[in-house]
């Protein structure tokens, strides 16, 4: 019999890009993948149910939508699955086609992984579902009113799950394309976990954010990391030639393209190549550390290296000790690994939607719904929010993305969170439509899983972040 945890319940968009961006590269990958993919047989597409299964642990049925993605709630035909395996490639993985959806719902079939076990007891999340949120709209970046949330959930963005919580209660829960207890990849929303652990180490005095990152990672000493502080790495303002743009990721001779190939073990690569490459990244002549937000998964991986070096523990063990064992997670967390066995903290975490919302709740005043311990106390939350520099964010490509997603201009990025607002809310986006939103001031948090093409001409703009923020304002009264 499952034991359940009894916890107290509490009620101007400047774009410095050259027209070629990191997400443009992902869109190109989608086009390549689409050409290689084979669609599911028609039989598989019409026999799958449109109603999500009830989570027996919660006792509440989620909201229902009639989405084409509902076909992913049951197993796929074996011949098609075998074909998808034969078609696996980096571009196809990120394409948003049928193969891509299967890959991202079944990451352990395609990457080396480790399992982080949950605690012995799981926390109960009370439901107070507000179905009228289905009618939610907001004003987009062009001044137009968006479609309703109910229309968006069954549209081109291929949303698979969305949850929202206010004052410790789940107020919105829908599973258009997965079952409540299915695992799903976080993509770059994973980066918040790497940032949180380093912030914890800084809070306890084990890491000085103003010291060079290489002072904690011996194998990076004597490299460009000698001039990059931990804080600048947290804020992705390293001034290193490792930014993820269309030009760099599609150039086979670029550092980041080769590093991505190495870290995700694409093709025949030496297991330690990604690690050796970390020592070879070069400084940019045009700027200094801290001056500009340049997005790079390599920066997040450097933070994973810091965590392991400082704690003397595997990253996943420290994560379990500090976070996962304390939130009453119901299911394991699965994290993908580099070829030599280090967690890819920047993209390959997998959980259920409900466990992701438990993690998000740690950043709100209702943390004690899921934990007996305040894992992210106010002083730590303040450190995370105040780490970023609005000046470094203003000219970044991510500022333009955030404006499109939210319909308003975020204030800055900070500590591995892509977007932070002056009211204290923070958001982290993940490739293909993943997202985590925390809003401490409104005691609100939300998450989204989706698997859409990054080509906005195919899937439209990702407005999930905007709906989460609009819901927070609506529920909290502004």
Q: Residue 258's domain spans which residues? A: 200-299
Q: What is the pLDDT of residue 281?
A: 97
Query: Is 259 within 8 Å of 275 (Cβ atoms)?
Result: no
Angle at 323 between CA 319 and CA 118, to 5 degrees: 85
Do 328 and 425 fall into the same domain? yes
Q: Is residue 293 part of a domain?
A: yes
Do 290 and 381 fall into the same domain? no
Do 173 and 206 fall into the same domain? no
Q: Is residue 10 part of a domain?
A: no
Query: Cα–Cα distance between 190 and 448 in angstroms, integer?
Result: 13
Q: Is residue 446 part of a domain?
A: yes
Q: What is the pLDDT of residue 390?
A: 97
Q: Is residue 449 part of a domain?
A: yes
Angle at 392 between CA 387 and CA 394, to 5 degrees: 120
**CATH code where residue 422 lies:** 3.40.710.10
Determine which helix (DSSP H) or strand (DSSP E) holds 144, and give its type and residue range. Answer: none
Do 241 and 295 fall into the same domain? yes
Do 103 and 127 fall into the same domain? yes
Which has the closest alpha carbon to 248: 34, 23, 92?
Answer: 23
Neighbours of 35 (CB within 10 A): 11
Q: What is the pLDDT of residue 11?
A: 34
Q: What is the pLDDT of residue 402?
A: 96
Give whole-number Cα distances, 345 to 38, 206, 253, 301, 412, in Å: 31, 20, 25, 6, 22
Place of tokens 């890009």: 17
Do 413 and 330 fall into the same domain? yes
In a structure prediction context, what are the per-residue pLDDT tens digits for the chain, which is 478 residues long? 223 444 333 334 344 444 456 556 555 665 556 566 677 765 444 343 333 334 445 556 899 999 999 999 999 999 999 999 999 988 899 899 999 999 999 999 999 999 999 988 899 999 999 999 999 999 999 999 999 999 999 999 999 999 999 999 999 999 999 999 999 999 999 999 999 999 999 999 999 999 999 999 999 999 999 999 999 999 999 999 999 977 887 788 999 999 998 998 776 789 999 999 999 999 999 999 999 999 999 999 999 999 999 999 999 999 999 999 999 999 999 999 999 999 999 999 999 999 999 999 999 999 999 999 999 999 999 999 999 999 999 999 899 999 999 999 999 999 999 999 999 999 999 999 999 999 999 999 999 999 998 888 899 999 999 999 999 999 998 8
Q: Is residue 354 part of a domain?
A: yes
| DSSP-assigned letter for residue 139 | B
Q: What is the pLDDT of residue 73?
A: 95
pTM, rounded to two decimals: 0.91
Q: Name the domain count of the chain.
A: 2
Q: What is the pLDDT of residue 21?
A: 63
């Amino acid at each position: 019999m499952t034991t359940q945890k009894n916890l107290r319940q509490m009620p101007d968009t400047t774009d410095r890009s050259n027209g070629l961006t990191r997400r443009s590269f992902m869109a190109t990958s989608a086009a390549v993948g689409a050409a290689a993919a084979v669609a599911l047989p028609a039989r598989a597409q019409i026999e799958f149910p449109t109603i999500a299964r009830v989570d027996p642990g919660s006792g509440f049925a989620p909201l229902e939508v009639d989405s084409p993605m509902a076909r992913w709630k049951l197993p796929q035909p074996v011949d098609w699955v075998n074909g998808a395996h034969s078609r696996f490639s980096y571009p196809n993985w990120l394409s948003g086609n049928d193969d891509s959806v299967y890959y991202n719902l079944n990451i352990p079939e395609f990457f080396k992984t480790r399992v982080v076990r949950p605690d012995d007891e799981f926390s109960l999340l009370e439901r107070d579902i507000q179905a009228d949120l289905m009618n939610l709209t907001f004003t987009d970046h062009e001044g137009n009113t968006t479609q309703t949330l109910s229309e968006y959930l069954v549209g081109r963005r291929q949303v698979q799950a969305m949850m929202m919580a206010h004052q410790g209660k789940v107020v919105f829960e829908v599973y258009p394309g997965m079952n409540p207890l299915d695992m799903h990849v976080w993509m770059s929303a994973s980066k918040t976990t790497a940032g949180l652990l380093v912030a914890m180490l800084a809070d306890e005095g084990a890491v000085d954010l103003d010291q060079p990152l290489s002072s904690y990672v011996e194998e990076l000493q004597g490299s460009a990391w000698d001039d990059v502080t931990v804080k600048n790495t947290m804020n992705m303002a390293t001034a290193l030639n490792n930014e993820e743009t269309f030009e760099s990721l599609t150039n086979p001779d670029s550092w980041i393209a080769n590093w991505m190939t190495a870290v995700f073990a694409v093709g025949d690569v030496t297991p330690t190549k990604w690690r050796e490459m970390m020592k070879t990244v070069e400084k940019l002549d045009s700027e200094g550390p801290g001056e500009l937000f340049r997005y790079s998964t390599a920066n997040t991986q450097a933070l994973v290296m810091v965590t392991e070096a400082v704690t003397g523990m595997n990253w996943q063990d420290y994560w379990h000790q500090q976070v996962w064992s304390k939130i009453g997670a119901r299911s394991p967390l699965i994290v993908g690994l580099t070829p030599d066995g280090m967690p890819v903290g920047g993209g390959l975490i997998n959980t259920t939607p409900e466990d992701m919302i438990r993690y998000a709740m740690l950043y709100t005043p209702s943390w004690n719904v899921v934990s007996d311990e305040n894992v992210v106390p106010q002083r730590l939350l303040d450190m995370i929010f105040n780490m970023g520099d609005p000046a470094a964010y203003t000219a970044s490509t991510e500022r333009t993305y955030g404006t499109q997603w939210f319909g308003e201009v975020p204030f800055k990025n900070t500590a591995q969170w892509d977007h932070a607002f002056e009211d204290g809310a923070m958001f982290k986006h993940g490739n293909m439509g993943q997202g985590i939103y925390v809003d401490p001031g409104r005691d609100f948090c939300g998450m989204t899983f989706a698997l859409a093409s990054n080509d906005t001409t195919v899937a439209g703009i990702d407005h999930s972040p905007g709906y989460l923020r609009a819901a927070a304002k609506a529920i909290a009264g502004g």
